Amino acid sequence: MNAHVTQAQALNFKARSLLAFALEPGEPLADWFASLDAWLIRSPTFFASKPVILEMSGVEISLKDYRRLLSELARRHIRVMGVENASATLVGPHLPPAVTGGRTVNAPTTPEESAEPVGEPASPPAAPEPTPTLAKPERANTLIIDGNVRSGQSIMHAGGDVTVVGRVASGAEIVAGGSVHVYGALQGRVIAGISGEPGARIFCTEARAELLCIGGAYVTAENMNPQIEGRSLEVRLEGDELKLRTLD
């Protein structure tokens, strides 16, 4: 008999870095979910298809309540990929694994009530259109989008600035670690400075934004000065407040 030898297939291992949103549940959970729902009511798919980690240092709950928490998050299209600072009873089979070593950045979180109430804009259409052409970055920390960002698209670049040579349509989203420049109409959502960049800004040539956010402070179309609409705009963070300045 002739022995048939099959060569072992090589295994390829690759390291991959990505940005995850960290949610910190607080007690009582009913009040925390009410705050979360207030955020999601205008953007129910905000966390869809995005990595989410639960930071559990602020709560002490039973395994039964923890499973209920995960179920309620899943019902809101939030699926947890890992958990930090959880007690040993909350880590096991069929539960999110414990993770460590994450670096905190100023990602947008569920806001608390302020003197000027704000909120997330309406959710984008369910079926996103094809992504625009991405030009080669001029610098390692700058992403240039050479074309329009269409409704339903989400562009995330945590490593630096984002420049859009075109329009950001209503329902589209730009998330950047640094500043965002839009050379066209800004009708969607822009979240800048998520990597903790203190001088991050937002610039656009035609302001019609649904949401402008830097470092967790944000403003929506509902409470934006109507005189700003359609004008060239600069947005910066001063303390805990956004400052909007027209450039024309």
Model confidence pLDDT, tens digit, residues 201-210? 999 999 999 8
The arrangement of strands across the sheet holding 52-55 comes to 21-23, 52-55, 80-84
Structure confidence at residue 146 as a pLDDT band (50, 70, 90): very high
Type of residue at 69: L
Q: Fill in the amino acid letter for 16.
A: R
> Does the predicted model carry a pTM greater than 0.85?
no
Q: At what angle do helices 63-75 and 29-40 cross, to 10 degrees?
A: 10
Q: Please report whether residue 50 resides in a domain.
A: yes
Calpha distance 99→86 (Å, rounded): 10
* Domain membership flag for residue 39: yes
Does 74 share its domain with 139? no
Predicted pLDDT of residue 98: 85
Q: Among 58, 90, 122, where does a domain finish?
A: 90
Residue that wins the pLDDT comparison between 100 and 18? 100
User: Does the pLDDT of residue 115 top 60, yes or no?
Assistant: no
Residue 133, pLDDT > 50, answer no
CATH number for 184? 2.160.20.70
How many residues comprise the chain? Answer: 248
Structural domain includes residue 219: yes
Residue 117 in domain: no
How many domains, the chain? 2
Local confidence band at 130 (pLDDT 50, 70, 90 cut-offs): very low
Identify whether residues 150 and 239 lie together within a single domain: yes
Instruction: Give me the domain span that covers residue 37.
Output: 21-90
Please state the φ and ψ torsions of residue 62, each to the nearest 5 degrees. Answer: -80, 165
Cα separation values, 210 from 69, 168, 169, 174, 200, Å: 30, 11, 10, 12, 19
* Residues 72 and 172 occupy one common structural domain: no
Sign of the C-alpha dihedral computed for residues 24, 196, 52 and 112 taken in this order: positive
Neighbour count for residue 132 (Cβ, 10 Å): 19
Which pLDDT does position 202 carry in this prediction?
A: 96
pLDDT for the residue 22: 82
